[in-house]
Amino acid sequence: MTHESLSELPLEDRIALAQQGDQMVQDHLLKSYQPFIAKCVSEVCKRYIDPKRDDEFSIGLSAFNEAILAYSPDRGSSFLSFAKLVIKRKVIDYIRFIQKGPSTTSFDEMYDAEQMENPIEIVAVNKAYELEQDAWYRKVEILEFKEKLREYKLTLTELTVVSPKHRDARDSAVRTARTLFADPVLRTYVRDKKKLPMKELVKRVDVSKKTLERNRKFIIAIFIVLSEDFVYLKDYLKGVGQ
């Protein structure tokens, strides 16, 4: 099985294969979810985590591997929620341990007056660091978004094809998704059934059933974005459909 074909398997199935001793699947998971691991670690450390330089990332990677082997669907939570909890606990334990020793040096302190006297240069370095951080977090969100889409039997490729081409149509679809998300009953229906409550939705929005059917996949995708902690993806929705 290739890495490409592995990516098409539901996450739960890949976890099961890894637990059965499939080393290729386990290695694939550890590599594919490095952005997710980095995000979890950074939430604890309150700073950008570089997988190539920060020891905390290694702790997070090891914790993610532990989560793969220990996870059980019977716990009632998704694997990613479980893994995030394991990672954060391990990193917190690590931080508590190292804080008993010498204090760590902050990023700005790495550049003393002899190395970098120009304030503009310091700003430029920090800006580059922030851009690198943003790139990682965006990658994390796309990765998590793809996993959520799979739960609804959707893919990013599909969305590029079915997304409304005209702005008015997109705005209308986003408004519909916001209506779904704002109503607890409709929200629960979509999450449980993985489909739109067409009969009820037609009563709530000024859109025909035919149009709702045509934009069904796009509406569900926007609903997913609204439902999850997708900071960057939600930025695209600011002022749209409101």
Nearest to 146 by CA among 137, 159, 134, 133: 159
Lowest mean pLDDT among 31-35, 97-101, 111-115, 127-131: 111-115
Distances in Å between the Cα of 169 and the Cα atoms of 63, 135, 180, 223 are 44, 30, 17, 16
pLDDT at 99: 74
CA distance 242 to 228: 19
**pLDDT value for 210:** 92
The residue among 102 and 109 whose pLDDT is bigger is: 102
Query: For position 234, what pLDDT does the model report?
Result: 81
pLDDT of residue 177: 93
Please give the average per-residue pLDDT across 117-139, as a whole number. Answer: 58
Say whether pLDDT at 117 is over 50: no
Phi, psi of 166 (to 5 degrees): -95, 145
pLDDT surpasses 80 at 119:
no
pLDDT for 178: 92
pTM exceeding 0.75 = no
Per-residue pLDDT of 59-71, as tens digits, reads: 999 999 999 998 8
What spatial distance separates the first Cα and last Cα of the chain, rounded to whole Å?
A: 46
| Domains of the chain, CATH where assigned | 3-108 (1.10.1740.10), 156-235 (no CATH)
Percent of the chain with pLDDT over 70: 80
Q: How confident is the model at residue 132 (pLDDT cuts 50, 70, 90)?
A: low
In tens, the pLDDT along 14-69 reads: 999 999 999 999 999 999 899 899 988 988 888 888 888 889 999 999 999 999 99
Residue % of the chain over a pLDDT of 90: 37
